[in-house]
Structure 1
Amino acid sequence: MKSKYVILASALLISVATFAQKDQIKSAEKALKGGDAQGAITILKDAENMVVNAKDVEQAQYYFVQGNAYLDLANKKVEESKNLSAAAQSYNKLIEVEKASGKQKYSTQAAASITQIKGLLINSAIADTQANKHADGAKKLYDAYLLDRKDTINLYYAASTAVNAQDYDTALPMYEELKKLNYSGKGTSYTAINKASGNEDGFNTASERDLAIKLGTHEKPKTEAIPSKRGEIYKNLALILVQKGRVEDAKKAIADARKANPDDSSLILSEANLYLETKDFETYKKLVGEALQKDPNNADLVFNLGVISANAKNNADAEKYYLKSIEIDPNYTNAYLNLAALKLEAEKPIIDEMNKLGTSAKDMKRYDVLKTERENVFKGVIPYLKKAHELDPKNDDVSKTLLGVYKALEMTAEAKALKATMN
């Protein structure tokens, strides 16, 4: 008899708890309708421990009301990021419950809310990055990815934004996940100008874009190839691993990526960059040579060969590579700057010798020869400095160097004109 009473008492307790939970959900709904979202969340918190024992329909209702309450707070800008994430978690639990039960009452509405949350997170992340709050933006983009793992571009942007925040501990697992997914991001973009706003709108397909053109809402259609992002992904992954002292892991990551994607030339550059970072210049040059065979008109590669040659005091090769990079890209500012710097190195030994000379007739004669040589050095760098200044007029270092050269050559008019443009 005693055991029967125990069973009866236990059943009674469960029954009372269920009734109490139903009342709490209704009370939370009432509070939410009355505009008290925080009050609704507090009421639901009291029932949190009991919801696991509730019927599927009540669990779904619980998470639905909870999600709506968090979303309401986020829409009111109350801890927006935190509450958007909490709302998404509630809706996802709701969808899981209804999927398991086979009865879908709230899932459609929840899915629509998740789409809304995803858009809000992305827009908020964009605002964060524009305000240089990159860490906040990265978190929101990652939360957007968690809401829809098929939309992997949000994971890519989350990782890139974390790098901009110099939060490498956060970026590393994101890049590792992109590696696991073998994410490329390669594709085609379809855009057109919105006649009403003047903005460039993107479309999922060419047919969607062409329909907008036909309807007259858009004009100036444009189709562009989106290059693979693998090179950038593996470059950043490798640099983070190197920073953490995991050089062999970095080498293996890129080597594996190249095996899996033999036609992706951007990965050669990433591997070359890794060896440049670890100061293995011979391997770097070998890889750059391989990359140049595939992409002979890559000005960055040729320029970097110039930098390595200059570091190795091989000025003849350095000059050759800098000139080649300018031949490929006439607006390559850094090539002009490095050429000027390379040429100006010839001034130091001339100055050193001039300073050692005395006042004898022989020394004075030698002084005049050296002075002419120095002037010729300055004259030789003017074209490069002028072009660099033309391409980057706000670069104070270029302006000051060019001004110094003008003064040394007593080019008063040129110096005065240049000084007038400087801050």
Structure 2
Amino acid sequence: MKKQVIVALALSVSAFSFAQKKELKTAEKAIKSNNYAEAKAALNQVTPMLSTIDDKYKSKYYFLQAEALYANGAGSTEDVNKAIESLGMVDDSSLKGDVDAFTTNMQNSYLTKANDNFTGQNYTAASVEFEQLYNMVPRDTTYLYYAAVSAVQDKDYETALKHYEKLDGLGYTGITTEYFATEIATSEEQVMTKANRDLYVKAKSHIKPGERKSESKRAEITKNIALIYVSLGKNDEALAAVKKARLQDPENLDLILSEANLYLQLDDSDKFSELMEEAIKKQPDNPDLHYNIGVIALKNKEYEKARTAFEKTLQLKPDYATAALNESTTYIEEGNSFIEEMNSLGTSKADNARYDELQAMKSEFFNKGATVLENFIKNNPNPEPNIYQQLISIYNAIGASDKAKAVQVKLDAAQ
């Protein structure tokens, strides 16, 4: 009696094994015919028996499932993600060649899609596809970097942050070897593959071949993490991230400016100015840095400091229109600061004398504001309309109506 039970059990296992092989063959045949729905149906018959089948057939099942879900590129995002997971479950060396070929096919197809969507500004799709490329080939972290970049362009900051933090944790640098040569016809340096560079140099269409390491993206990644935290209102995390980035690359001007802008958003103008001064030491001839110092000083009513910054800006870049406007504004605001006292005075002789004194001081500041714009127009004969408009306002305020009319004529002609 005991022997009969053993025989029956053996027959039962054999029947299960036969059924599994049959369904796998059915799925394989359907995939070759591009009938992915039939392949999925056949594989679904095997799914409940996975715990009982041999590892060899289990690997075959996962490989066929990946092919069926991918559906030669027609699978949904969810199905493709499952296909990638299934490939990771294949544990049979005899299938390695098939898995590698299938993965390469997926990779090439998705790389084309991702690049096309990115250049076509369909950043939502590009972000998903670059992430899938990374999941297909985890060793190629560049795909994850471009997934993050695409997410930023799509303003999907939560996803971008997830990718950037993973890159940061992986220690991704993005450093590559760039091969270059100068094209004789255009005298322009071109970056290309090593094979192409060597071919062009041999053909004598290019000269001065060389190679160099690209810049690390570590600081950029940490900076972007900080900026995303700011956009999400997580200021403490943002400060921690940007400080970490500066420790990694203390001489990086962009990081100094990123930290400065972060403090500006946090309304800490003192720290902003301190960092801008640090930036100016690294790039003393950068007009934008001096201009930003001036803007904050003007906001804080530090008129002399603001004027010094705007004057330096105009020395470095004489056509910097907003610097001229703001320098002029420092005089206007300082002149307007007397208005409150003027309005508070009575009609006594002493009050009238004080009023005249304040009025003269106000006019003196307004005249200085006008002089800034007049000098700017001398150096820039075709200025922006707002230069003329502010000058007209000043002239009208000081009662120089003839000058205002003359400038109005110039403004009308320019528009």
TM-score of the pair, normalised by structure 1: 0.71
Taking the aligned partners of 1:243 and 1:181, their CA distance within structure 2 comes to 24
Give the C-alpha shift of residue 140 in structure 1.
Answer: 2.0
Matched residue, 1:33: 32
Q: Distance in 1 between matches of 2:255 and 2:108?
A: 36
User: Unpaired runs of 5+ in structure 1?
Assistant: 357-361, 391-397
- Separation in structure 2 between the aligned mates of residue 60 and residue 143 of structure 1, nearest angstrom: 22
Shift, 1:309, TM fit? 1.8
Asked whether 1:154 is paired with 2:143, we answer yes
1:134 to 107, 123, 133: 123
The match for 1:62 is 61
1:283 corresponds, among 271, 274, 278, to: 271
- 1:44 lines up with 2:43 in the alignment: yes
Say if 1:58 and 1:403 are closer, same or farther in 2 by CA, change over 3 A: farther
Select the residue among 216, 227, 240 that pairs with 1:252.
Answer: 240
Distance 1:14-1:296 versus aligned 2 partners, 3 A rule? farther
Larger Rg: 2
Q: Does 308-317 or 341-350 show the bigger shift? A: 341-350
Q: For residues 372-417 of structure 1, what are the alpha-carbon distances to aligned partners after superposition, in whole Å with 9 as ceiling and x for unaligned?
A: 9868745633676899998xxxxxxx95525635876334553344
Q: CA, structure 1 residues 112+322, in 2 after alignment: closer, same or farther (shift >3 Å)? A: same
TM normalised by structure 2 equals 0.72
- The 2-side partners of 1:350 and 1:260 are apart by 47
Matches within 5 A, 1:82-161: 82-94=78-90, 97-98=91-92, 101=93, 104-127=96-119, 130-131=120-121, 133-161=122-150
**Alignment match, 1:336:** 321
Q: CA deviation at 1:73?
A: 4.4
- Kept in 2, the 8 Å contact 1:209–1:221? The answer is yes
The verdict on how the C-alpha distance between 1:122 and 1:414 changes in structure 2, with shifts beyond 3 A counting, is: same
User: Compared with structure 1, are the counterparts of its residues 223 and 251 closer, same or farther at alpha carbon in structure 2 (3 Å cutoff)?
Assistant: same
Q: Which amino acid aligns with 2:237?
A: D
The aligned residue for residue 166 of structure 2 is 177
Range 281-290 or range 306-315, more displaced: 281-290
Indicate if the aligned counterparts of 2:222 and 2:242 stay in contact, CA closer than 8 A.
yes
How do residues 339-378 of structure 1 correspond to structure 2 at under 5 angstroms? 339-344=324-329, 346-347=331-332, 377-378=369-370
Cα distance in 2, alignment partners of residues 399 and 10 from structure 1: 93
Distance in 2 (CA, whole Å) between partners of 1:106 and 1:201 is 38
**Deviates further, 213-222 or 258-267:** 213-222
Q: Which amino acid aligns with 1:303?
A: Y
User: 1: distance between equivalents of 2:4 and 2:286?
Assistant: 85
Q: What CA deviation, in whole Å up to 9, does each residue of 1:330-369 have, x standing for no partner?
A: 49x8x5324314424544677897x98xxxxx999x9999
Deviations 1:204-229 (A, max 9, x none): 44x64232443579899897874443
- Relative distance call for 1:150 and 1:413 in structure 2 (3 A) is farther
Alpha-carbon distance between aligned partners in 2 of 1:165 and 1:45, rounded to the nearest angstrom: 37
The reply on whether 1:237 has 2:225 as its aligned counterpart is yes
Taking only aligned residues, the RMSD between alpha carbons, in angstroms, comes to 4.6
1:300 Cα offset (Å): 4.5
